[in-house]
Amino acid sequence: MHGLFDSLRRDTRGNAVLELAFVLPLLVLLFSGFLEVGRVYFQANAVEKGLRAGAFYASRQAIPLAPAARAAAENLVKTGTLDGSGAMLVSGWARPGAGLIIDDSAVFTVGETQIPVLRLTATVPFDPILPGLMSFAGLGDYTMSLSHEQAYVGD
């Protein structure tokens, strides 16, 4: 019996599998975290591009913005289309707490010259792939807040 225990103690054939079993959960958690961080960056980038497009479109309209121009700019920010027929650029736009503010009353002063400026501010909840991971990491409900300013261009 003593010889059997000695031979088992010296046998190292299963060490790699055992080490993998200990390290694999940590690697999966780390990879999932990187995946979610990349998704935050992707969604923030998509919202910022939409804000830029909507601000540029609105800056070409008459100030103050007419309701139709305001609606078209909002559709452009959220869906990438003027009529709002496209899918949401970011799934967070459909979640509660998402909002867009279009302020066409801002003015930037240079010396004695006043330049009308459009300011778009978006608040979009992050839509994670693994919601449990965000709660586990202590981030809970993460909300992206982005804004963009565009000087009035005119026709």
Structure tokens at 19: 């080490």
Query: What confidence score (pLDDT) does residue 40 get?
Result: 87
Residue 96 preceded by cis peptide, ω within 30:
no
pLDDT (mean) for 142-152: 90
Mean per-residue pLDDT over the chain, rounded: 86
Residue 137 above 70 pLDDT?
A: no
Q: Write out pLDDT tens, residues 14-55.
A: 778 888 889 999 998 888 888 888 888 999 999 999 999 999
Residues 6+ apart with CB under 8 A from 94: 88
Q: Write out pLDDT tens, residues 55-100.
A: 999 999 988 889 999 999 999 999 999 998 989 999 889 888 899 9
pLDDT (mean) for 3-24: 77
pTM of the predicted protein model: 0.79
> How many domains does the chain contain in total?
1
Query: What confidence score (pLDDT) does residue 36 get?
Result: 83
Sort 129 into a burial class: Cβ within 10 Å, 0-12 / 13-18 / 19+. Answer: exposed
Query: What confidence score (pLDDT) does residue 46 get?
Result: 93
Are 92 and 144 in contact by the 8 Å Cβ rule? The answer is yes
* Structural domain range at position 79: 2-151
Q: Write out pLDDT tens, residues 112-130.
A: 888 889 999 999 998 888 7
Give the torsion sign (CA, 71, 73, 75, 81).
positive
pLDDT (mean) for 128-138: 70
Please state, in angstroms and rounded to a whole number, the distance separating the CA atoms of residues 80 and 125. 18
Query: What confidence score (pLDDT) does residue 129 get?
Result: 80
